[in-house]
Structure 1
Amino acid sequence: MPENSNRPSVLVPVDVSTDERPDPQLLELLEPARIVLGGWYPVPDQTPPEQLQEAHEDEAIERIEAIAAEFQDTDTAVETVVVFTRDRSTTIDRLADEYDCGVVLVPRAVQRVERILVAIRADVNLSAILSVVGVLLTDSEATVTLLHAAEADEDTEAGKVMLRGAGDELLDAGVDADRIDTVSLESDTPVDDIVDAAANHDVLVIGESEPSLIEQVIGDVPGQLIKRTDRPVLIIRKLPTEEEEDEDGGEALE
C-alpha cells in the first residue's frame, strides 16, 4: 500500500484480557488513518509479568489480530502490539511515542458516528487537530462542530476569528461546507459547556495542552473532559518541537 504522508497515526488501546473490541463504527471512522492496535494485558501487583505472559500471550495475540483482520478489505495500515503491564496509562503513552502516534483513542461504546465535536481551546494544538479531523472525514459523511468555549474574561471576537479560520482549513481539506458548524460560547464554566455539547455528539476530539504523559493530563481541561463524558474521545497529542527534542536530548518520554 502506498504511504500517505498526511495520514495520521492513531493508537487504539484494547484490553486483551477480555473480549473487549472497539465499536465497528469507530474503526470505520479511523480507516483513513494508520492504526496501531495496542493490546494491553493488566498485571496485578503481586504477579510476575512473565508468568501471565507465558500463560496468556497466545490468546492475547489472537484477540488483537482478530481485530486487525477486520481491516483486511481496506487500505488501512494496521500494526499490532501486545504488552503485559501494571500501569495502563504509562504504557499507552510509551506505545504512542514508540509507534509515532499523534492521536490516542479513548474507546467507548457508540451506536453511530454521525456527529463529531471538536473542542478548540485558544490555539492549543489547533493545526494538528484540524489536520487529523480533515483526514478522518475524507471517507465519512459525519458532520463536525467546531466549538470554542471561552471563559468570561477571554476575547470572544478572537475566538470567532479562530473558528472561521478553522472552518476554512477543513474546507481546504475537502470537507463540504454544509457538514461544518461553528459555535462560540462565553461561559463561566467552559468545561461544563463542552461536556453538555458532547452529549449531543458521537465522538469528542480534544487536544493535549503540553507534551506530557497521558496520566499527567488528568486534572487539566483535557483530563476533566475525558473523565466527565461518556463519548469516545480522540486525543490529539502535542508532540515536542525539534527545539524541545534537542533540549531533551531527543529522548522519548518514559
Structure 2
Amino acid sequence: MKKLLFGVSDTQECKQAINTIIHLFGNQEDIQLTLLHVLPDSLVYAESGMVDYGAIQDDEMQQSHILLESFAKDFEQKGITCEKILKTGNPIDVVLEIADNYDLLIIGASESSLLHRIFNSHQNSFVNSSPIPVLVAK
C-alpha cells in the first residue's frame, strides 16, 4: 500500500492540487491518503489587556477542521477516503516530523505572486528538507 501525505492549506493552488491527486492516484486501490493541516502557533498582539486567547484559538481550530472536512469531502466524492490530521506548530517542522511514515509528500504549488514566493513560501523548504519524494501539484 502506498501512503500519501497531502499538506493542506487554504490557498487556491492547494485546492487545485485535488484534481491532480485524483487524476494520478484516484483509480488505485492500494492508496492511503492522509490530509494534514498545520495551524501555525498563534501570535496575538493586543492593544488592551482584554483578549480571550482561548476563544481566538478555538475559532482557528474550528476553521481548520472545516478546511480539512472540505478537502476530505472533495476526495470522498471521487471515491477516495482520507485520514485527517490537524496539528499546531511550524508547518515545515510538523510535516517533516511525520513524513517518514509516508511514501510521498504532496504539496500545492506556491501562490503565483513573486512576493509570496520570496517571502512566504514553504515549498522550497519542503522540497529541500523532505526525507521522502515530494510532488508539487498544480
Q: TM-score, normalised by structure 1?
A: 0.43
For 2:37 and 2:13, the matched residues in 1 are separated by 13
Q: Report the Cα offset of residue 224 of structure 1.
A: 0.5
Residue 122 in structure 1 maps to residue 27 in structure 2: no
Greater gyration radius: 1
| C-alpha contact (below 8 Å) 1:156/1:186 kept by paired residues | no
Q: Which protein has greater RCO, CA pairs closer than 8 Å, 6+ apart?
A: 2
Gaps of 5+ in 1: 1-112, 238-254
Identify which of 139, 161, 166 aligns with 2:71: 166
Gaps of 5+ in 2: 43-56
Identify which of 60, 63, 86 aligns with 1:184: 86
Post-superposition CA distance 1:87-143 (Å, at most 9, x none): xxxxxxxxxxxxxxxxxxxxxxxxxx6100000122342321111112222232210
Q: 1:229 to 1:218 in 2, by over 3 A?
A: farther
Q: 1:210 to 1:123 in 2, by over 3 A?
A: closer
Q: TM-score, normalised by structure 2?
A: 0.76
Q: CA RMSD in A?
A: 2.3
Higher helix share: 2
Over the matched positions of the two proteins, sequence identity in percent amounts to: 19
Alignment partner, residue 243 of structure 1: none
For 2:126 and 2:109, the matched residues in 1 are separated by 11
| C-alpha contact (below 8 Å) 1:119/1:148 kept by paired residues | yes
| C-alpha contact (below 8 Å) 1:135/1:173 kept by paired residues | no
One-letter amino acid of the structure 2 residue matched with residue 192 of structure 1:
D
Q: Where does 1:128-207 land on structure 2 (aligned, <5 Å)?
A: 128-140=16-28, 141-153=30-42, 155-175=60-80, 177=81, 180-187=82-89, 189-207=90-108
One-letter amino acid of the structure 2 residue matched with residue 138 of structure 1:
G
